[in-house]
């Protein structure tokens, strides 16, 4: 029996899978079935009205960067418990961008999560197995801390709203 990552001791501490060799165009599949949907093709003008443009996305990034810098300045000059709730609300959605350490930790967590799921997928491929439930379980297990953190943030923001 192959010893799986989920059965391994210390599973809560993510294992370090072997360094993956670069493979281009790698796809992750969690289902054995495919669904084909037909949809209407829109004109370029209709697409411009429905989707954000590259300029819209650039403007969003610029605004996000300005918001992060503004909030960093607030936290550098004001003790956290003295920051008004209205100002703290500007942090919603940019929490992980508030410090270089948080940015680094978030990027490392995402990369590790991706490596773990791709490692399991590679193991399944090498064993001739296809187990989407197992992939989903591993993915869920490794995102449980992130899910808990998101819940705590939401609860905190809800308390701020109520006070």
Predicted confidence (pLDDT) per residue in 50-84, tens digit? 788 888 999 999 999 999 999 989 988 988 788 88
Q: What percent of the chain has pLDDT over 70?
A: 77
Residue 130 Ramachandran class (φ > 0 left, ψ -120 to 50 alpha, else beta): beta
Which residues, 6 or more positions from 83, have their beta carbon under 8 angstroms from its beta carbon?
A: 74, 75
pLDDT of residue 134: 92
DSSP count for the chain of H helices, then E strands: 6, 0
What letters, b where the CB count within 10 A reaches 16 and e where it falls short, cover 44-72?
eeeeeeeeeeeeeeeeeeeeeeeebeebe
**pLDDT confidence tier of residue 7, bands split at 50, 70 and 90:** very low
Q: What is the pLDDT of residues 91-146, one digit of tens each?
A: 888 888 888 898 899 899 999 999 999 999 999 999 998 899 999 999 999 888 88
């Amino acid at each position: 029996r192959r010893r799986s990552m989920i059965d391994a001791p210390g599973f809560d501490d993510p294992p370090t899978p072997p360094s993956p060799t670069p493979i281009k165009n790698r796809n992750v599949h969690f289902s054995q079935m495919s669904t084909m949907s037909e949809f209407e093709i829109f004109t370029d003008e209709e697409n411009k009205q429905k989707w954000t443009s590259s300029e819209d996305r650039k403007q969003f990034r610029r605004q996000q960067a300005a918001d992060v810098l503004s909030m960093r300045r607030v936290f550098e000059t004001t003790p956290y418990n003295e920051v008004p709730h209205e100002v703290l609300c500007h942090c919603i959605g940019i929490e992980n961008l508030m410090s270089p350490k948080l940015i680094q930790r978030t990027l490392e967590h995402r990369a590790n999560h991706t490596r773990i799921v791709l490692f399991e997928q590679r193991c399944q491929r090498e064993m001739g197995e296809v187990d989407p439930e197992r992939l989903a379980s591993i993915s869920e297990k490794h995102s449980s801390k992130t899910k808990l953190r998101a819940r705590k943030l939401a609860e905190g923001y809800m308390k701020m709203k109520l006070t």
